[in-house]
Amino acid sequence: MIHRLQFRLLLAFILVILVVTGTILVFVVRNTGSELQQFDRRAEQNRATGLGFLLTRYYALIGSWEGIQLLVEQIGVSEEEHIVVTDADGILVANSRGSSLGKQYHTTAEGTPLFTPRFLPRGGTPLAPPQGKKIGTLYINPESKPTLTRHLAETINRFLLWGGLIAVVIALLLTFVLSRRILAPVRALTATARKLGEGDLSQRVQSQDKGELGELAQTFNAMASELERSEKLRRNLVADTAHEIRTPLSNIRGYLEAILDGVVSPDEATISSLNEEVALLSRLVEDLQELALAEAKELKLVIQPEDISAIINQSVVSMQGQAASKDITLKAELPERLPLCAIDAGRIGQVLRNLLTNAVTHTTSGGAVTITATPSGNQVEVSVTDTGDGIPAEELANIFERFYRVDRSRSRRTGGSGLGLTIARRLVEAHGGRITAESQPGKGSRFTFAVPVTATLITS
């Protein structure tokens, strides 16, 4: 539960909400408190001035503080204030609570004050007619009655507290709903990944999201497609391989059964046929192994600066016998100098031998096979051109596919596994190059591949 993303999101949101509402509460409570205190202070001062004015008028009318106690008592009760009035000498002449009359009144350390005013000066408000002598002092304390502002402050605080609580609850509900929505694509992804893991590779995630989660879903789908594609390739490879192996095997079996039945005699010709079938099988197995390595990108290429002219000449020499036996002119036409190439000499030699074997195989006697090499940008382009039977345009696109043969029966006779060009393409691609074929049926074909020159090896 603690590790669930939704729970963590919820926790994070709660924290943010609490911090925000807490901060607002503290600010509002503090600021309204001080504002309302200001208001209280001003109200008390106004009250003191007003009452002072009334008392001064009374004194002016009566000529003394005679009878003031009654008035002060009444005002004190009706206004819920504690009011104290002294004469000019500080003798208490009125106290709304009735006690200590006639005594010296102290508000300072010299005596015990009846009260300490909250906001008004401790020394009280002096009472004096305009431009006249001081006639006394007024002390008011509204402490006993809860002021309007205090009531207001309490109400505001209560509202804020409830408002904050309601906001927290609403925010929590919203977070819960939203986090469910946010996490829905993640759940979908998990469910799809699980099904993929169980082997159903056709599963894809549906996502309308345009943000990061959408991107994740897209990448995930691309990965699933790639998985499905390679799984299909693997199945095809197994099926194709079984198919390819079946023919030579059934041939061998047919021969052996015929020998056992005494239909065919185990003479040299029969054994030679059997040997051919076995050779075909072992070549197929070797090619398959090579292709499997190349497709898994596990070929260990020893790439170093190589003189491609030397590799070409070497392959021409090794094929010369085969070409001569068919009365085919095999030659290399190379420029005087070619840049060093960043290649694995053994592998590129293999590609060349492959192309040359194909060219010689598909060229009738009296024909020619020529190898040329030309620098092109930071690559060297090598072409193998023959004057053979060519490849029909509609087949050209397929000849690099695994086990693809233009003429199945003929190719089998010549011992081709249908993997030669596939391997050649993988080898060239492993060097960062490309291989292409062009052909004119009846006139001949040209296979061209490009390999990088050394400078690219250094800079790349």
Contact between 252 and ligand ADP by CB under 6 A: the answer reads no
Q: DSSP class of residue 365? A: T
- Residue 205 or 291: the one with the smaller Cβ distance to ligand ADP is 291
Burial of residue 380 (CB within 10 Å: 0-12, 13-18, 19+) is buried
Least distance from C-beta 368 to ligand ADP, angstroms?
Answer: 12
Contact between 416 and ligand ADP by CB under 6 A: the answer reads yes
One of 386, 387, 430, 435 touching ligand ADP (CB under 6 A): 386
Contact between 391 and ligand ADP by CB under 6 A: the answer reads yes
- Residue 13 or 404: the one with the smaller Cβ distance to ligand ADP is 404
Contact between 383 and ligand ADP by CB under 6 A: the answer reads no
- Binding to ligand ADP (CB under 6 A): which residues in 100-119? none
Looking at the DSSP bridge assignments, the partners of residue 436 are 448
Q: CA 287 → CA 162, 343, 419, 445, distances in Å?
A: 80, 21, 7, 23
The residue among 379, 80, 380 whose CA lies nearest residue 371 is: 380
Distance CA 47, CA 442 (A): 121
Phi, psi of 91 (to 5 degrees): -90, 135
Least distance from C-beta 406 to ligand ADP, angstroms?
Answer: 3
Q: CA 19 → CA 85, 290, 355, 372, 458, distances in Å?
A: 51, 65, 75, 77, 58
The residue among 447, 404, 454 whose CA lies nearest residue 432 is: 454
The residue among 92, 72, 93, 68 whose CA lies nearest residue 82 is: 72
Least distance from C-beta 335 to ligand ADP, angstroms?
Answer: 24
- Binding to ligand ADP (CB under 6 A): which residues in 202-221? none
Contact between 417 and ligand ADP by CB under 6 A: the answer reads yes
Between strands 329-333 and 368-376, the pairing is parallel
Contact characters 430-449, ligand ADP, x per CB under 6 A? ---------------x----
One of 143, 240, 381, 407 touching ligand ADP (CB under 6 A): 407
Contact between 136 and ligand ADP by CB under 6 A: the answer reads no
Name every residue whose Cβ is closer than 8 Å to that of residue 135 and which is 6 or more positions away in sequence: 56, 59, 87, 88, 127, 128, 129
Contact between 418 and ligand ADP by CB under 6 A: the answer reads yes
Least distance from C-beta 438 to ligand ADP, angstroms?
Answer: 11
- Binding to ligand ADP (CB under 6 A): which residues in 265-304? none
- Residue 86 or 358: the one with the smaller Cβ distance to ligand ADP is 358
- Residue 44 or 386: the one with the smaller Cβ distance to ligand ADP is 386
Single-letter amino acid code for the residue at 86: T
Contact characters 334-363, ligand ADP, x per CB under 6 A? ------------------------xx--x-
Distance CA 85, CA 454 (A): 111
Contact between 387 and ligand ADP by CB under 6 A: the answer reads no
Binding piece for ligand ADP, criterion CB under 6 A, among 17-25, 57-65, 370-378, 386-394: 386-394
Contact between 420 and ligand ADP by CB under 6 A: the answer reads yes
Distance CA 128, CA 100 (A): 23
Helix (H) or strand (E) holding 5: helix 5-62
Contact between 240 and ligand ADP by CB under 6 A: the answer reads no
Contact between 388 and ligand ADP by CB under 6 A: the answer reads yes
Helix (H) or strand (E) holding 138: strand 136-141
Q: Which residue is nearest to ligand ADP (CB)?
A: 416
Chain positions contacting ligand ADP, by CB under 6 A: 358-359, 362, 386, 388-391, 399, 404-407, 411, 416-422, 445
